[in-house]
Amino acid sequence: QVQLVESGGGLVQAGDSLRLSCAASGRTFSNYAMGWFRQAPGKERVFVADVNRSGGSTAYADSVKGRFTISRDNAKKTVYLQMNSLKPEDTAVYYCAARAVVSAAYDYWGQGTQVTVSS
C-alpha cells in the first residue's frame, strides 16, 4: 500500500503561482511513477502531468505545458507540481497518484487539494 497526502492548494489570483506537494508513505516511493490529475466542478478527472520513477522523464497535458512543472524528491518521498501563470480555468481539485511499473493504470490516489484561481 501507498498512502498519498496532497498539500499546498489555496485561493490565488490569475497570474499567481502555487506549488503543490504530495507526500508518500508506505512502500518504496521510487518504485512508482507519479502523476497529477485534476477535476473541475461538473467535469471528469483529467491528466495534468506525470514523472517517471527517477524523475528524468516528464509529460504534461497541453493545457499546462510551459506553465506547470512536475518534479520529485525520492529521498523525501515527495512529488511536486509547480504551477505558474495560473488561470481561472486551472481551478479544480488536484490529485496525486502513484503507478507501479507493472501497472497500466494508477494504483493509489490522494484525497485531493483544492486550487481556486480568481480572475
Q: Which residue, chain included where needed, has cell 483544492?
A: 114
Residue-level pLDDT at 101:
79
Residue-level pLDDT at 1:
84
22-37 residue pLDDT tens:
999 987 899 999 999 9
49-61 residue pLDDT tens:
999 999 999 999 9
Residue-level pLDDT at 35:
98
Q: Give just the sign of the alpha carbon dihedral 116, 87, 24, 97.
A: positive
pLDDT category at 106 given cuts 50, 70, 90 is very high
